[in-house]
């Protein structure tokens, strides 16, 4: 947690020490001026500033939480850039003002004593409030960058407590600190940290669509640096440097660091301003407070008002959810009870009044684009459909089981920006990609038949060394066809099934296919015991090729397979679960990746029109995984999964997991939705 806590610790220490010095100088000046009765006014201003800062942090958190994911990225990126500007200004201000701070504040206090309690409260409030707002903004930004709040909050708390202890020691004169050197050293470190925050903010703005270049990577060290290692986590947490960075991030980070650090170092050579003269003048007689007002009124007011304003911002800023509409669904009528909704996130209670299950879609009637859907709404039941409504036309389409689609009248919504909808996909849309993929599989099966026959010949002639090479070639060919989750019907179990569950395991009479032969070839079995399994494998491959043109291939399986093939890879190959001695799981994973790449190729036109930003991200993931797999391939030898060191294995698993996550929207984007 310290890697995420350190930047907040440093900002808490610096800002806390700045504010603490101001307060301690205020208190010391009043004490020396024999005006102790005015101390409550100082603490009132301090409490008001603290309350304002905490309220500001609450409003930031609420505002971000109420935005969409893309808007959150843009909002967080904007605030990150603003936080960097504030921190930069603070660093330069304190570098110039450290030596003369005491004298300046004493002069302000002297003037405030002559002008009443309100001015003294305002003086302490303004002195502490700026640091409080800067701390809240920077702390919120670092929490966003860390992806969690416990580390940054802990670091900031430790820094503030330590700064309070230092200020107390300075006030009591039990400590001596060269404040100029302290603020110079911490200022240099904060500039480096701020550069990382700027880089993080620019990346957020790219993710939010505000800035271009989201997939233009300048640095990609994912193949050689484990993002989960302690050193990588430390660098990411403290400096916001990640193994993968875009060109904009690199230029922003490097440019800020070069310019600001240069100006900061040059400024150190400037002549320090002369400290202001010493003792404050004695305080004039303080005006007598009004008798009719209790002493607690002002402190309570200045503390509660910021909190109240923050609460009102949260209460009235949150979009009030409209009462959920109940919309009727049946085979004869669709959308009864539907009225034009307000923009924003809306909940519709869909009630099936008919006697057949139905599919229900909230659509754009002009384009048939889908905003929300419910599948299999049973008769007499009610289910909630949640959709984000924006400017545009809306209608309900109800498709009863075995019946004809019914579409409601269209209603128009104004305001709320542009709506986001999924353009529907039909079986016809997928027929072209499916035909291309079937051609790819058919060509692969032709090669597989020839390769398994060659493997059977090797074994029958007792050429077991050659058989091992030909086994891997044939197995990679099969793996690249995208067999996953029952593909190829019963042939998949015969050709590439595992021995799990068989009474005698791999030695069972029903153990067949590649893994049975793999076990024998790499465990010293004689050719005579492998001849029959090899011939059966060749026969099953030929049988699959013959049966494949006639197998039922649901078009909707094609988008699913883009995710399922690598899901199987992560579950079986990268765990070594299917290794029967060859140690070639990574070779199989490489073939699985080739199959996934082919699936993405045939689906690319459909995905490009529906999610143009998805494919560049997926392509980058594929390239990173391919690079890692290539690093495990040395000539004809593949490093076994079990022999990878912990760092390399974590990298492969992590990149594969990220690719799976980025592929997860594909099935939803290309789901076939009923229209008749």
Q: What is the pLDDT of residue 206?
A: 80
Q: What is the pLDDT of residue 495?
A: 92
Q: What is the mean pLDDT of residues 513-525?
A: 94
Question: Where is average pLDDT lowest: 269-273, 554-558, 653-657?
Answer: 269-273
Judged against a pLDDT cut of 80, whether residue 178 lies above it is answered with: no
Judged against a pLDDT cut of 50, whether residue 276 lies above it is answered with: no
394-419, pLDDT tens digit by residue?
999 888 887 888 888 888 888 666 66
Q: Is this model's pTM higher than 0.85 or not?
A: no
Relative to beta strand 392-400, strand 406-407 is: antiparallel
Give 388's strand partners. 345
Q: What is the pLDDT of residue 600?
A: 92
Q: If residue 340 lies in a helix (H) or strand (E), which one and from where to where?
A: none
Cα(553)–Cα(561) distance, rounded to whole angstroms?
12
Q: What is the pLDDT of residue 115?
A: 52
8 Å CB contact between 339 and 325: yes
Q: What is the mean pLDDT of residues 493-515?
A: 86
467-492, pLDDT tens digit by residue?
999 999 999 999 999 865 556 778 88
pLDDT band at 564 (very low <50, low <70, confident <90, very high): confident
CB atoms within 10 A of CB 208: 21
Judged against a pLDDT cut of 60, whether residue 223 lies above it is answered with: no
Instruction: Give me 290's structure tokens.
Output: 């009004």
Strands (E), 596-646: 633-634, 637-638
User: Which of 466, 610, 460 lies closest to 533 in space, CA to CA?
Assistant: 460
- The per-residue pLDDT of the chain, averaged, comes to 77
pLDDT higher at 493 or 463: 463
Judged against a pLDDT cut of 70, whether residue 302 lies above it is answered with: no
Q: What is the pLDDT of residue 544?
A: 92
Q: What is the pLDDT of residue 107?
A: 63
Cα(146)–Cα(367) distance, rounded to whole angstroms?
41
pLDDT band at 527 (very low <50, low <70, confident <90, very high): very high
Judged against a pLDDT cut of 50, whether residue 447 lies above it is answered with: yes
Q: What is the pLDDT of residue 111?
A: 59
Q: What is the mean pLDDT of residues 343-365?
A: 86
| Percent residues over pLDDT 90 in the chain | 19
Length of the chain, in residues: 676
Instruction: Give me 313's structure tokens.
Output: 């911002």
pLDDT higher at 282 or 383: 383
């Amino acid at each position: 947690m310290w890697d995420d806590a350190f930047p907040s610790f440093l900002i808490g220490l610096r800002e806390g020490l700045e504010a603490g010095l101001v307060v301690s100088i205020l208190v010391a000046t009043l004490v020396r001026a024999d005006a102790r009765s005015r101390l409550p006014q100082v603490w009132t201003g301090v409490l008001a500033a603290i309350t304002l800062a905490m309220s500001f942090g609450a409003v930031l958190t609420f505002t971000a939480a109420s935005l969409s994911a893309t808007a959150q990225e843009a909002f967080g990126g904007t605030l990150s850039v603003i936080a960097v500007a504030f921190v930069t200004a603070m660093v330069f201000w304190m570098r110039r003002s450290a030596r003369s701070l005491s004298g300046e504040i004493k002069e302000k206090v002297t003037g405030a004593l002559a002008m009443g309690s309100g001015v003294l409260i305002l003086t302490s409030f303004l002195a502490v409030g700026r640091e409080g707002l800067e701390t809240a903004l920077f702390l919120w930004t670092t929490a966003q960058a860390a992806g969690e709040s416990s580390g940054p909050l802990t670091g900031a708390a430790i820094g503030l407590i330590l700064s309070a202890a230092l200020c107390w020691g300075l006030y009591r004169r039990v400590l001596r600190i060269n404040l100029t050197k302290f603020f110079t050293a911490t200022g240099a470190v904060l500039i480096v940290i701020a550069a990382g925050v700027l880089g993080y903010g620019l990346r957020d703005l790219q993710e939010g669509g505000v800035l271009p270049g989201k997939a233009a990577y300048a640095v990609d060290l994912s193949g050689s640096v484990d993002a989960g290692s302690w050193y990588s986590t430390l660098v990411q947490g403290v400096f916001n440097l990640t193994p993968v960075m875009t060109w904009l991030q690199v230029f922003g980070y490097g440019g800020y660091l070069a310019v600001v650090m240069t100006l900061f170092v040059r400024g150190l050579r400037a002549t320090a301003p002369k400290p202001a003269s010493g003792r404050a003048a004695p305080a004039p007689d303080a005006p007598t407070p009004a008798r009719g007002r209790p002493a607690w009124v002002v402190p309570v007011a200045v503390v509660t008002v910021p909190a109240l304003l923050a609460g009102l911002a949260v209460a009235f800023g949150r979009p009030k959810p409209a009462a959920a509409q109940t919309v009727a669904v049946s085979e004869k009528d669709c959308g009864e009870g539907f009225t034009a909704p307000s923009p924003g996130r809306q909940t519709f209670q869909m009630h099936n009044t008919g006697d057949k299950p139905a599919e229900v879609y909230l659509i754009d009637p002009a384009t048939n684009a889908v905003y929300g859907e419910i599948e299999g709404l049973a008769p007499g039941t009610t289910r909630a459909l949640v959709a984000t409504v924006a400017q545009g036309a809306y209608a309900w389409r109800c498709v009863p089981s075995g019946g004809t689609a019914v579409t409601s009248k269209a209603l128009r919504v104004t305001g709320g920006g542009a709506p986001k909808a999924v353009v529907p996909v039909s079986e016809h849309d997928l027929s072209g990609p499916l035909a291309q993929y079937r051609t790819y599989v058919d060509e692969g099966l032709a090669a597989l038949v020839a390769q398994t026959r060659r493997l059977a010949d090797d074994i029958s002639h007792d050429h077991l060394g050659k058989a091992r090479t030909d086994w891997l070639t044939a197995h990679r060919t099969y793996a690249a066809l995208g067999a996953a989750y029952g593909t190829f019907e019963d042939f998949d179990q015969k050709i590439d099934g595992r021995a799990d569950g068989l009474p005698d395991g791999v030695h069972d009479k029903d153990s067949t296919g590649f893994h049975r032969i793999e076990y024998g070839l790499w465990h010293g079995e004689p050719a005579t015991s492998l001849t029959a399994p090899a011939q059966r494998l060749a026969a099953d491959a030929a049988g699959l090729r013959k049966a494949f043109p006639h197998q039922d291939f649901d078009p909707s399986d094609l988008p699913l397979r883009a995710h399922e093939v690598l899901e199987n890879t992560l579950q079986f190959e990268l765990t070594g679960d299917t290794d029967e001695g060859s140690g070639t799981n990574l070779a199989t994973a490489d073939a699985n990746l080739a199959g996934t790449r082919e699936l993405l190729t045939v689906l690319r036109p459909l995905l490009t029109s529906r999610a143009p930003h998805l494919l560049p991200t997926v392509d980058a993931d594929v390239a990173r995984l391919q690079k890692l797999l290539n690093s495990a391939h040395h000539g004809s030898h593949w490093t076994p999964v079990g022999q990878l060191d912990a760092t390399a294995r974590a990298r492969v698993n992590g990149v594969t997991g990220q690719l799976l996550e980025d592929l997860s929207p594909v099935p939803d984007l290309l789901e076939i939705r009923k229209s008749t």
